[in-house]
């Protein structure tokens, strides 16, 4: 076959594509300079196109040459299945690391393990607000970058530990208009795969989206025993004997917080240590755990000791008091003294209001604790926040009560008579 295309075929291509798109595509540019990656869209070009196109046309994707060839092959050979280069079996893991267990050592961020949650956390922890701008939109946010194998190597720069590729995104955060910034990031989203070198493993297989939620369930299991133990530890080491109230805000309603404290208190009532003093609430009801400690436990805040074990509750006998809490996942640290209402001043009678502690928004932007599933927070399905149903106090919910009357089958009666 000659390299010169037929005139009729060229006319068909002109109808499907613009001449500029066909003559200078990303594939040809990448073939000439593989290290440079695909060409990035110009801000002026994106701005002009956004002004001249509607919202519906803006989200329509153009067919590339590769997609056209794949579509023709599927039409001509519908029974031929494409062979995958790497398709391992996904094994559902039910293991979890509760608050009383020691925190595992994380592998290096350069480790290629696309189906392991701990390497994902190691890559996510490289993204800090001081080195990766929060203005970079969601298509290029730390979560998507880490799922594609990228780490934060420098200021607004992505680095790959496998192929040593680098991708600078400094210009994206500097775009003043949010509408244009989001569109530029959307067009650059393909670079999360194409910016890796051709021999890089991350081009073949990336981490699945479900791994992000699996990371939260692994290190912060939403079980009653885990949250109960964490709330008791927070009460013992941070909240108890504070002689003041804390200003807080959370996505939980007053009813959900009341159900949470009641359920935790019910479980701790029989196992409460002798040195754990009950707490009197505003409703004259004594609890072993305050509402503030219970809410902190739900959203993965741990007592922080500079010289103690990290991200793990210390044993009860050697526990010490601290005024700092830390997230087990994103390692965000908060000093509780700044959120405390107390009397101060020279006279000691001046009422000082502390800053509001938002137990959810204080986590870093990429923290799995902030995960929402289809616009719904994961904590909304937590059993501790639900009100007890009638008849559940005895612990027989879901049990089937069998009749005490035993009925003897006819064939058994006949056998008994014969004997």
Domain boundaries, the chain: 11-82+97-215, 220-385
Mean pLDDT of 324-332: 93
Mean pLDDT of 166-171: 90
Residues 97/103, Cβ–Cβ less than 8 Å: yes
Write the DSSP symbol of residue 356.
P
Mean pLDDT of 25-40: 53
3-state secondary structure of 272: coil
- pLDDT of 25 reads 45
User: Rounded to the nearest 5°, which phi and psi values hold at 377?
Assistant: -70, 145
3-state secondary structure of 18: coil
Q: Looking at 16-25, 75-84, 197-206, 361-370, which range is the least confident one?
A: 16-25
Work out the percent of the chain whose per-residue pLDDT is above 70: 62
Q: Which of 159, 146, 153 is nearest to 329 (CA)?
A: 146
Element (DSSP H or E) covering residue 48:
helix 43-52
Give the span between the Cα atoms of 188 and 181, in whole angstroms: 11
pLDDT higher than 60, residue 61: no
- pLDDT of 309 reads 76
Q: For 146-165, what is each residue's pLDDT tens digit?
A: 999 999 989 999 999 999 99
Mean pLDDT of 92-101: 74
For the ranges 138-142, 346-350, 405-409, the one whose mean pLDDT is highest: 138-142
Residues 231/264, Cβ–Cβ less than 8 Å: yes
pLDDT higher than 60, residue 175: yes
Q: Looking at 54-58, 101-105, 158-162, 334-338, which range is the least confident one?
A: 54-58
Beta bridge partners of 351: 343
Average predicted confidence (pLDDT) for the chain: 76
Residues 363/327, Cβ–Cβ less than 8 Å: yes
Q: For 200-224, what is each residue's pLDDT tens digit?
A: 999 999 999 999 999 999 999 888 8
User: Rounded to the nearest 5°, which phi and psi values hold at 301?
Assistant: -100, 135
- pLDDT of 22 reads 45
What contacts 267, CB < 8 A, 6 or more positions away? 224, 228
Is the torsion defined by CA of 234, 237, 241, 245 positive or negative? negative
Helices (H), 18-127: 19-23, 26-32, 43-52, 55-58, 65-76, 117-124
Mean pLDDT of 117-134: 93
Give the span between the Cα atoms of 21 and 221, in whole angstroms: 49
Q: Looking at 8-12, 118-122, 193-197, 223-227, which range is the least confident one?
A: 8-12
3-state secondary structure of 280: strand
- pLDDT of 311 reads 79
Q: How many residues does the chain have?
A: 419
Give the span between the Cα atoms of 108 and 264, in whole angstroms: 38
């Amino acid at each position: 076959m000659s390299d010169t295309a037929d005139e009729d075929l060229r006319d068909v291509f002109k109808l499907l594509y613009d001449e500029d798109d066909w003559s200078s595509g990303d594939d040809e540019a990448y073939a000439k300079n593989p290290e440079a990656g695909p060409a990035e869209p110009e801000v002026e070009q994106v701005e002009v196109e956004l002004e001249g196109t509607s919202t519906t046309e803006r989200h329509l994707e153009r067919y590339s040459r590769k997609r056209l060839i794949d579509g023709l092959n599927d039409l001509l050979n519908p029974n031929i299945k494409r062979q995958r280069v790497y398709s391992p079996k996904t094994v559902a893991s039910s293991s979890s690391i509760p608050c009383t267990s020691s925190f595992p050592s994380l592998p290096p961020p350069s480790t290629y393990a696309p189906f392991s949650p701990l390497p994902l956390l190691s890559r996510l922890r490289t993204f800090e607000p001081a080195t990766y701008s929060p203005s970079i939109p969601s298509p290029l946010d730390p979560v998507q970058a880490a799922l594609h194998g990228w780490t934060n190597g420098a200021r607004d720069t992505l680095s790959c530990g496998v192929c040593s590729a680098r991708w600078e995104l400094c210009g994206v955060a500097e775009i003043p208009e949010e509408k244009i910034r989001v569109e530029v990031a959307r067009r650059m989203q393909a670079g999360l795969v194409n910016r890796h070198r051709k021999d890089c493993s991350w081009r073949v297989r990336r981490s699945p989206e479900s791994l992000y939620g699996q990371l939260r369930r692994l290190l912060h299991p939403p079980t009653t025993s885990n949250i109960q133990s964490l709330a008791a530890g927070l009460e013992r080491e941070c909240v108890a004997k504070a002689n003041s109230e804390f200003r807080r805000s959370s996505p939980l309603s007053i009813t959900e917080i009341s159900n949470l404290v009641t359920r935790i208190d019910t479980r701790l009532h029989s196992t409460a240590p002798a040195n754990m003093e009950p707490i009197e609430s505003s409703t004259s009801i004594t609890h072993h755990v305050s509402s503030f400690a219970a809410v902190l436990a739900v959203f993965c805040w741990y007592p922080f000791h500079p010289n103690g074990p990290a991200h793990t509750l210390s044993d009860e006998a050697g526990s010490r008091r601290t005024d700092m809490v830390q997230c087990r996942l994103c390692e965000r640290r908060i000093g509780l003294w700044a959120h405390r209402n107390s009397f101060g001043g020279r006279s000691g009678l001046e009422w000082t209001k502390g800053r509001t502690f938002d137990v959810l928004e204080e986590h870093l932007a990429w923290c799995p604790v902030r995960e929402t599933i289809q616009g719904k927070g994961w904590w909304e399905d937590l059993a501790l926040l639900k009100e007890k149903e009638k008849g559940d106090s005895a612990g027989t919910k879901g049990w089937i009560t069998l009749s005490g009357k035993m009925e003897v089958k006819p064939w058994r009666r006949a056998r008994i008579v014969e004997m």
